[in-house]
Amino acid sequence: MKKSVLVVGAGPVGLTMAAELARFKIPLRIIDKALARTDKSKALAVWARTLELLDRAGCADAFVATGLKAETVSISRGDELIARVSLTSVDSPFNYLLLIPQSESERLLEAHLQSLGGKVERGVELTGFSDLGTSVSCSLRHADGSAESFEADWLIGCDGAHSLVRGRLGLPFEGDTLATHFILADVHVAGLNFPGNELVMFWHADGAVVFFPIAPGRYRIIADIGNSPQHDPDLEEVRRIVNGRCPPGITLSNPIWLAGFGINERKVENYRSGRIFLAGDAAHIHSPAGGQGMNTGMQDAINLAWKLALVEHGDAKPALLDSYSDERSEVAKQILSDSGRMTRVAMVENHFMQNLRNFVAHRLLGFSGVQHAMADRLSEITIGYPHSQLNTGSSKNLKGPKPGERMLAEKPFGAGNTPRFALIAADSAEAQTMLQRHARLLEPALRPAEAPGIWLVRPDGYVAARAGADDWPIIEGCLTKIDLAPVS
Ligand SMILES: Cc1cc2nc3c(=O)[nH]c(=O)nc-3n(C[C@H](O)[C@H](O)[C@H](O)COP(=O)(O)OP(=O)(O)OC[C@H]3O[C@@H](n4cnc5c(N)ncnc54)[C@H](O)[C@@H]3O)c2cc1C
């Protein structure tokens, strides 16, 4: 049996990948060696940009209906509020942080995949593979011990931090392991004097404690424990830390999950090797500060899926696939640096530096401009591909998003079952010629321009080209780079 794509791993990234490919009618298999979905709440944060991208696929509503909307992040020292950052300023239909246990995110993604005809094969492990140049020969082991050979056109390793795919490709996973360890507790909390939809962080001389709301009265607590050996805490230890670092009166009960973890900050340089791709934790891992890991991985999957679909359908040149690693590796570098900085700021040990940090944070985050910039960055709406090889033109005099920047529209870009670029321009003979010439890449109709100029927008909502109202050669140049078979 031969199918186009083998997705290895049914975590949030593999499920997003499979669902996007299924939406674009690409035959696929998705396997996971685990017999069941995770029941752990692991990644809680789903940020605005991820929800916008899921919205194109029609599955953001289910997430929003299931999660808890946090609209504010506060930082305190004891009873003294250092800063409060509102997320409502974020220019997105999803101007909040959605908190939803990873187990629920995976359930929703799997249901979405099923609605598109896909099915996770559980208890099936990838044990080896070989890139034959025109296909990938994969060795699978089933839960009953039986072996299977499977030939795929493409192999996508969404197999997590300990990725077999990455390991067998011999790709270095470069970076550091932090010396500090952390504890995590999903517990019921009473006496926390903050609104139930606020993410609450306490900075203390001994370390930081963060409360993420999960459901009314239920929180995820994360705290650093310095150089103490990594271990799973008991409830007593979590209580001691909370009592020592937070205002009095907070009580914890009914633990659901208690765990210890360390932090690695690593990534591979190249997400692609021939017919094999990496996405998600298989390609990059970072501190949970800022809650960006799963979001970044899901956005990897979304970036790759439309490109692979266009190439597999014979609409785009195979070189389009090279932009995946370039674009997403750049994003991961940024996320690694941001989340690393946030972790180190929260963990500053020197007393003088702690006071300085608190003072600077208080003053800086008192400015609404700084608050908005921080909220925009956290929600990942500022992510873009300014250096993408796909970008063309720029027309500095034009207002509106530049090549590589995200564009929002009432009718989302990239919805439906065929990934298509959108052409935003006033109607003209040249515009109609462009629609006909690149019919396999473009949405069939123009979208009206709100300002003078022409925009070519990718199926993931990022601008590929921007040109003055008559500058059609720029648009043609961009489409020619991608289009496999323009109509002459
Ligand atoms: C405590 C904790 C808190 C976190 N908090 C956040 C947060 O708030 N926000 C955020 O964005 N991120 C957070 N993260 C990170 C987040 O959980 C990961 O980024 C996310 O799970 C990565 O998803 P993934 O699909 O790439 O990998 P995984 O979720 O690890 O899934 C990989 C899957 O591949 C399967 N697999 C592995 N090898 C094979 C094989 N050879 N054959 C078949 N199947 C295989 C595994 O069984 C697994 O199901 C947190 C992580 C932890 C541990």
Separation of alpha carbons 59 and 109, rounded Å: 8
The CATH T-level fold of domain 2-43+102-173+268-346 is FAD/NAD(P)-binding domain (3.50.50)
| Residues 37/444, Cβ–Cβ less than 8 Å | no
Range scoring the smallest mean pLDDT among 236-240, 377-381, 474-478 = 377-381
Query: Sorting pLDDT into bands at 50, 70 and 90, what band is 360?
Result: low
Whole-number average pLDDT of the chain = 92
Q: How far is the CA of 459 from the centre of ligand 1 (A)?
A: 26
Q: What is the DSSP string of 234-269?
A: PHHHHHHHHHHHS-TT-EEEEEEEEEEEEEEEEE-S
- Any ligand 1 atom below 6 A from CB of 295: yes
Domain ranges of the chain: 2-43+102-173+268-346, 175-265, 384-488
Q: How far is the CA of 119 from the centre of ligand 1 (A)?
A: 19
Query: Sorting pLDDT into bands at 50, 70 and 90, what band is 97?
Result: very high
Residue nearest to atom 42 of ligand 1 (CA): 125
Q: Is the pLDDT confidence value at 368 over 80?
A: no
Query: Sorting pLDDT into bands at 50, 70 and 90, what band is 46?
Result: very high
Q: Is the pLDDT confidence value at 2 over 60?
A: no
Query: Sorting pLDDT into bands at 50, 70 and 90, what band is 348?
Result: low
Question: Across the strands, what pairs with 152?
Answer: 3, 136
Ligand 1 atom with minimal separation from the 47 CA: 11
Would you state the pLDDT for residue 376? 83
- Any ligand 1 atom below 6 A from CB of 9: yes
- Any ligand 1 atom below 6 A from CB of 102: yes
Q: Is the pLDDT confidence value at 336 over 90?
A: no
- Region 115-123: mean pLDDT is 97
- Any ligand 1 atom below 6 A from CB of 292: yes
Range scoring the smallest mean pLDDT among 6-20, 82-96, 256-270, 282-296 = 282-296
Domain 384-488 classified CATH 1.10.3470?
Answer: no
Q: How far is the CA of 325 from the centre of ligand 1 (A)?
A: 20
Distance from the first to the final alpha carbon of the chain: 37
- Any ligand 1 atom below 6 A from CB of 67: no
Q: Is the pLDDT confidence value at 1 over 60?
A: no
- Region 111-132: mean pLDDT is 98
Would you state the pLDDT for residue 288? 74
Q: Is the pLDDT confidence value at 451 over 90?
A: no
Measured between alpha carbons, how far is residue 437 from residues 112, 303, 445, 473 in Å? Answer: 34, 25, 13, 13
Give the other-Cβ count within 10 Å of 488's Cβ. 4
Would you state the pLDDT for residue 362? 66
- Region 171-193: mean pLDDT is 92
Separation of alpha carbons 238 and 325, rounded Å: 41
- Any ligand 1 atom below 6 A from CB of 157: no
Among 37, 220, 225, 294, the mutation site with the greatest number of ligand 1 atoms within 8 A of its Cβ is: 294
Residue nearest to atom 18 of ligand 1 (CA): 294
Would you state the pLDDT for residue 14? 98
Interior CA angle at 98 toward 188 and 119, to 5°?
100
Residue nearest to atom 44 of ligand 1 (CA): 32
Ligand 1 atom with minimal separation from the 140 CA: 42
Query: Sorting pLDDT into bands at 50, 70 and 90, what band is 378?
Result: confident
- Any ligand 1 atom below 6 A from CB of 199: no
Would you state the pLDDT for residue 199? 93
- Any ligand 1 atom below 6 A from CB of 288: yes
Residue nearest to atom 37 of ligand 1 (CA): 159
Range scoring the smallest mean pLDDT among 43-52, 125-134, 194-203, 285-294 = 285-294
- Region 16-41: mean pLDDT is 96
Measured between alpha carbons, how far is residue 445 from residues 187, 253, 423 in Å? Answer: 52, 58, 8
Comparing 366 with 65, the larger pLDDT belongs to 65
Q: Is the pLDDT confidence value at 49 over 90?
A: yes
- Any ligand 1 atom below 6 A from CB of 33: yes
- Region 391-400: mean pLDDT is 82
Percent with pLDDT over 70 in the chain = 93
Ligand 1 atom with minimal separation from the 124 CA: 43
Buried b (16+ CB within 10 A) or exposed e, 185-222: bbbbbeebeeeeebbbbbbbeebbbbbbbbeeebbbbb
Query: Sorting pLDDT into bands at 50, 70 and 90, what band is 340?
Result: low
- Any ligand 1 atom below 6 A from CB of 257: no
Among 201, 281, 338, the mutation site with the greatest number of ligand 1 atoms within 8 A of its Cβ is: 281
Separation of alpha carbons 69 and 82, rounded Å: 22
CATH architecture of 175-265: 2-Layer Sandwich (3.30)
Query: Sorting pLDDT into bands at 50, 70 and 90, what band is 106?
Result: very high
Would you state the pLDDT for residue 346? 64
Pseudo-torsion of CA 111, 117, 122, 126, nearest 10°?
-130
- Region 231-258: mean pLDDT is 96
- Any ligand 1 atom below 6 A from CB of 32: yes
- Region 335-341: mean pLDDT is 73
- Region 281-286: mean pLDDT is 94
